Amino acid sequence: MKKMIRQLYISAAIAGAALSPQVHAATVIDFESAALTGLYFSGDSFTQNGFKMTVGFDAGIVDNAGAFLSGAPTGNATQFYAQLNEGELILEREDGGLFSLDGFDAAFAPLSPQASGTTVLVALATFGDGTVGGLGFPFLGSGSDHFPFGNYSNAADFSSYTNVKQIEFFACSYDGTSFCTTPLNNNGQFALDNVVVTSVTSVPEPTTVALFSLGLVGLALRSRRAAR
């Protein structure tokens, strides 16, 4: 298996706004269309509501929980996107424009046995000015092999996800101090649904700088594995 390792600063300087951007109504990417159902390999893309999703490093699937043989998340009877092994889903506008990320539903979908330690979902943003930053969202816990979906929409968490060019969703380890330091050994499967985004039609000018990080200032090492 080919292994890909990428070093990422998951803290970044983000420009504040002097001018209010023009925004559209929020859009929900819910993966519900029957045309989206199916298996996607690394490099494959699909679209919904003006946004493009691209699968990276490992395969992903759009279906409901019944499509999983094991580790299916609970609390969602509809279709959702599931990332297999240790890949990622890249979200961007079809026209290449900017947007904000306002929330999503997500769940851990572990293999058996589960990965040791704590696994979180990282939403890593590339902003219109080229800077990069993101947050790690802990999955809701479970006493079994089936983790429940959780809703992530706290305004304080998502206030810095503005003027975004691209979001990478991927799973990562957290040891209580550092992120992405322990390999997940292909056990970074996660489910994603109801991604709330808002398109931006103008770019504000930078006037201030704020720190946006995973709760810690520093360098994170993220390990990825390409498809077999």
pLDDT in tens, 156-168: 989 989 999 999 9
Q: Is residue 72 predicted with pLDDT exceeding 90?
A: no
pLDDT of residue 118: 79
Which of the listed CATH numbers 1.25.40, 2.50.20, 2.60.120, 3.40.50 matches domain 3-225? 2.60.120
Mean pLDDT lowest for which of 28-42, 69-83, 173-187, 208-222? Answer: 208-222
Q: What mean pLDDT value characterizes the chain?
A: 77
Q: pTM of the prediction? A: 0.80
Residue predicted with more confidence, 9 or 69: 69
What pLDDT band is residue 86 in, cutting at 50, 70 and 90? confident
By CB atoms closer than 10 A (0-12, 13-18, 19+), residue 216 is middle
pLDDT of residue 120: 85
68: number of Cβ within 10 Å = 16
Beta strands in the chain (DSSP E): 3-8, 11-15, 27-29, 38-40, 45-48, 51-56, 60-63, 80-83, 88-93, 98-108, 118-127, 132-138, 150-152, 164-174, 190-200, 209-213, 220-225
pLDDT of residue 203: 52
Q: Which residues contact 25 (CB under 8 A, 6 or more apart)?
A: 198
Q: Is residue 49 predicted with pLDDT exceeding 60?
A: yes
Cα 119 to the chain's mean position, in Å? 13
227: number of Cβ within 10 Å = 17
- Among 4-13, 112-121, 199-208, the range with the most confident prediction by mean pLDDT is 112-121
Q: Is residue 20 predicted with pLDDT exceeding 60?
A: no
User: Which pair of tokens denotes residue 67?
Assistant: 């499509």
